[in-house]
Amino acid sequence: MINLPEDESNEPSAGPADDANRELPQAQPIAHEPSGYEQPAEFTPDEVASDEPAPAAPDPLFVSYAEPETPPIAELPQLFQSFAQPVVRPHARIPHFGHLGLLALLLGVSFICTGAVFALASYFLHIGASALAHAAATNVPLMLGSEAILYLITFGLSLLVFPFFWHERFFKGLQWRGSVALRRFWPLAATALGCAGLAALDGILMPGPSNAPIDKLFSAPGAAWLMFAFGTTLAPFFEEMFFRGFLLPALCTAWDWSTQKLTQRSAPPLDANGHPQWSLPAMAVASVLTSLPFALLHVDQQGHALGPFLLLIVVSLVLCTVRLKTRSLAASTLVHACYNFIIFSLALIGTGGFRHFDKM
């Protein structure tokens, strides 16, 4: 027996001509499958039930920059890593003996340049070089002028050269810190006054010779005023830069480095500002070793007398203490300038305005 649809007899019959013009009926979605029907393997139940079209296959020419679903591996090497991250340099304790040697080299270059300036002056003034050199040793304006030229050339070269080695500004590398000196102006001025009191006591207990070379330099009022101006401005600044700015830190660092190598101890840590710190023995030994050449620099002016020589060592030790205590080169420079100002002012008062040098 053949099973036919019940309403088949009611459907109109179509001829062959009508089949070509008649549109095919659209396929209706299957609500359910017979028990014996199996789904194709390439379709999942979710895809069959979903009305959304299946995602298109990825184009092999398209590169997706979206983040992957799986987390990336930790600390993957970056492309252009050396350009993205700055080079980390170990902090060096500056200035050290290498920088001190470089300063000596710059001083030599400045000395040659100063000699060239005097050679040109002797050529245009029609004065012999030997005569001009002798005049510079005895004439106060020429002597101070040559020292000023030497100092200024050295300072200009230092401003250009040392920042390349330190990777920071010149005054920051020397721990200038002018704000510290300004905040502590009166205690520093009192320290300079105390040093002047020591100078007066030294003059009583161990007086120097009466005909010292520095007394002869005050023979003319004009030279005395030049000495006053130079001794309270340029001289303190450059002497502090050489002795307390370069020599003292270099000696402190050398002492701690030698102790570290001998005892296998770690170097003292840096302070909160990244400045070097030194041990107490290093600062004590370096202060003494710095004060000896500082006093020897001025011993000719004092006629090689023992009393002024010892006074200069004590004053230098005070300046080293101020420099190390405040971590400010400007502080020791201020004390040095104030000390010279007090000494010159007493001489100014005692000679009646640099007119009566016989009263000194």
Residue 212: the pLDDT is 73
Alpha carbons 241 and 296: distance in angstroms, whole number: 17
* Token digits of residue 259: 């102790």
Alpha carbons 249 and 261: distance in angstroms, whole number: 18
- How many contiguous H segments (helices) and E segments (strands) does the chain have? 16, 0
Residue 360: the pLDDT is 57
Q: What does each C-alpha distance from 58 to 47, 63, 231, 323 come to in angstroms?
A: 18, 9, 84, 72
Q: Let me know: does 175 contact 95? Beta carbons within 8 Å.
A: no
Alpha carbons 168 and 195: distance in angstroms, whole number: 34
What torsion, rounded to 10 degrees, do the Cα atoms 176, 343, 145, 97 define?
Answer: -40
Q: Give the residue among 285, 214, 228, 223 at the shortest CA–CA distance from 254.
A: 285
Sign, CA dihedral 43-45-49-53, equals negative
Give the pLDDT confidence of 171-206 residue by residue, as tens digits.
Answer: 999 999 999 999 999 999 999 999 999 999 998 998
Give the pLDDT confidence of 205-221 residue by residue, as tens digits.
Answer: 988 777 777 776 666 66
Q: What does each C-alpha distance from 350 to 8, 224, 233 come to in angstroms?
A: 144, 13, 22
Residue 59 region by backbone torsions, left for phi larger than 0, else alpha for psi between -120 and 50, else beta: beta
Least confident window among 121-130, 145-154, 157-166, 294-303: 121-130
Alpha carbons 302 and 208: distance in angstroms, whole number: 7
Percent of the chain predicted with pLDDT > 90: 43
Average pLDDT across the chain, whole number: 78
Give the pLDDT confidence of 231-258 residue by residue, as tens digits.
Answer: 999 999 999 999 999 999 999 999 998 9
Residue 201 is which amino acid?
L
Residue 111: the pLDDT is 94
Determine how many CB atoms are found less than 10 A away from the CB of residue 38.
6
Give the pLDDT confidence of 104-149 residue by residue, as tens digits.
Answer: 999 999 999 998 888 887 777 777 667 666 666 677 888 888 899 9
φ, ψ for residue 2, nearest 5 deg:
-100, 130
Residue 231: the pLDDT is 92
Alpha carbons 82 and 359: distance in angstroms, whole number: 72
pTM: 0.72
Which residue did the predictor score with more confidence, 271 or 277?
A: 277
